Structure 1
């Protein structure tokens, strides 16, 4: 039998004869606005049920979560909305403190609200069908990343990229994953930092003056150089946004973070060590031509004189006696990493010499560098104060450049 929504006159008479009083209950009628408020609140309740938390603000959040967060703030701020929804609030969503102070009109519709949140809404789209809509900030970041020009002075930056790649290959530097759980607004980038974004290594060459973005966050215009010889004039937040969206984005660590000098010892660390600089007495034509500026640079934990005692019989010393030009004492060093760092720092000045060992077998020696001693002095200073990662060696000018 079909269930009837209302009692007929006969039913009421029958119930009256049985002594049952019939109470007429008025059906609550809602205005169109109240129905819209209830429906919107039910969407928020569904989000909380699915995610186990309140919706949150933030440009890194899904657009629906941002919409629900603003909507909940707006409902909490209006007494009539709270009174309307009190009986439906099984999750106590109305009693918590507002997440933020968004000043959005009470009667704003969803499409307008999306536009307030920076999302472009097409005429043929609906709030219930928006799934992969990019915010205007996301689109701006993509456009800025794509808007690259040729770097006219790339020759100044090319040695940096080459050295960083060599240091990555040898383990002096490392790449670490971009931490999305730290939050978009907590991420920061700085001048002279290397990152990997869009599958390319990028170098932050310049950071302009800081200014307030429309959302109140600090922003700045950057000059970013890419390893393929291109550059872009991109906003700091746009670069961070691009890294946030890129699942493969990474930071490149600085050599000074790689354990060369540390207050924690490892099995490769030694209490003291010596950087030594040698000059060869070899009669090899290449050495004779530039003897005063060709040096071997190494790191040893033993006595330097003992290290070179048998120089004339060792290919690494060019099968000739050597002169000790300079030594630098260091404490708590990782000898192997430090020597790799120094050799790769001067890699562009490396000399490739072929000699014959004592058995007449040809040997290629690649541990000698065309570098003046005053440059080596400066390099060691940068190693000791931890700023070596901020410099590179300009072979043509025979000087360190920042």
Structure 2
């Protein structure tokens, strides 16, 4: 019988050797670490450890149970303590500790990826009764009998979105505050928080309140505040419709380090010798927005019918940061549309032209409009051409809705 060479024997045996693991850890230990890292990511994002409670979402409750078990098992603590830069293992378990025979291998199996498991006895992502009630309440809406009172609010919001006066923003996990007067988009439908009821205690001991929600499709709901917050979590496309007071607009003053200067709002005064312009020169202004220098924009104004075929002077400028220039220009033109200058002149070729960017608006009214855009109160005002000033918008349905005062 031939003798095996030791090197040949080593090569044969190496085929049966267990694969090496990174950092010398077993596959089970790797799964324990992976499960712990999920908890760490949750803490980094939410700024707190996961907590128990029926009102919490299912993933947070899963992380809370997992953390309790990891804290209770010495084998797991020994593996994870060098990685615990957040001090998560220092807390005491808040549920009963596992039985002595519940060891690290069993926990590793529980934390293992279950994708592909077809066992019908395995229940995954089963919603609690509270989550089921929330989903039912969202779907259980009734016709809003006084929707005509709220319809102008939805029309105004849609117009504000088009002009850039409002913007839609994702609803951050750490900021799901809900107040009367707020607008949101949920499941593709715009909703308005018309009323926030008195605080009430739930069976879980939490403080909640009943809302009156009006939807753009003419329905309404009396959903609980916490149920609406959970609905936002379930809809990744949910959005908050925010007004300028949340910080999107920046005019004049000093720019923040991360602001991008988008351009300049300019107000021009015409030097035309047209009789009507001459008579009302201090009242007639052109309002526009440019991404370059205003002086460059108005060069050669006397050859352009847009500028009334006359030279112009700059009456005022306002720096613009982080805003869509076209939308902002449209906003001003819509705000002062009732005072648009109705004048016809002939261009260089003798063709009649009606410039659209000139308005019979005093400079102080334009200044006030800029300030109200900055502080977010412009939605409550309209321009009155007879009084030549901004005035409070007419109440909707006989009273001003919450959040519009």
TM range (shorter): 0.5 to 0.7
Alignment CA distance shift 1:303-1:67 (3 Å): closer
**Structure 2 matches for 1:72-83, cutoff 5 A?**
none
Alignment CA distance shift 1:373-1:57 (3 Å): same
Q: Is the 8 A contact 2:212 2:220 kept in 1?
A: yes
Picking from 304, 311, 323, the partner of 1:314 is 304
Picking from 48, 52, 74, the partner of 1:57 is 52
Q: Is the 8 A contact 2:283 2:363 kept in 1?
A: yes
Cα distance between partner residues in 1 of 2:191 and 2:133:
20
In structure 1, the partner of 2:368 is 378
The answer as to 2:73 corresponding to 1:86 is no
How many residues get paired? 303
Where does structure 2 lack aligned partners over 5 or more consecutive residues?
1-30, 40-49, 73-92, 108-119, 394-403
Cα distance between partner residues in 2 of 1:369 and 1:162:
25
Cα distance between partner residues in 2 of 1:264 and 1:67:
38
Where does structure 1 lack aligned partners over 5 or more consecutive residues?
1-46, 94-125
Alignment CA distance shift 1:87-1:310 (3 Å): closer
Higher RCO, Cα 8 Å, sep 6+: 2
SS at match of 1:87: coil
Picking from 245, 250, 253, the partner of 2:239 is 250
SS at match of 2:356: strand
Picking from 365, 370, 376, the partner of 1:388 is 376
Q: Is the 8 A contact 2:166 2:242 kept in 1?
A: yes
Q: Is the 8 A contact 1:279 1:292 kept in 2?
A: no
CA RMSD of aligned residues (A): 5.3
1:304-348 CA distance string (max 9 Å, x none): 8x9778655432234467798xx4554x53397467425315526
The answer as to 2:334 corresponding to 1:347 is yes
Alignment CA distance shift 1:263-1:51 (3 Å): closer
1:199 Cα shift? 0.7
Alignment CA distance shift 1:297-1:365 (3 Å): same
1:350-379 CA distance string (max 9 Å, x none): 359676532245656432457676643431
1:44-67 CA distance string (max 9 Å, x none): xxx979945789525343399569
Alignment CA distance shift 1:365-1:243 (3 Å): farther
**Structure 2 matches for 1:255-334, cutoff 5 A?**
255=244, 257-258=247-248, 260-261=250-251, 262-264=255-257, 268=261, 275-276=266-267, 278=269, 295-299=285-289, 313-319=303-309, 327-328=315-316, 330=318, 333-334=320-321
In structure 2, the partner of 1:26 is none
SS at match of 2:159: helix
Alignment CA distance shift 1:177-1:307 (3 Å): closer
1:161-198 CA distance string (max 9 Å, x none): 23332135xxx76533334xx36xx6323455443211
1:132-184 CA distance string (max 9 Å, x none): 5452354245424642515232354145223332135xxx76533334xx36x
1:214 Cα shift? 4.4
TM score, norm. by length of structure 1: 0.53
Q: Is the 8 A contact 1:281 1:323 kept in 2?
A: no
TM score, norm. by length of structure 2: 0.53
In structure 2, the partner of 1:163 is 159
Q: Is the 8 A contact 2:382 2:391 kept in 1?
A: yes
Q: Is the 8 A contact 2:286 2:358 kept in 1?
A: yes
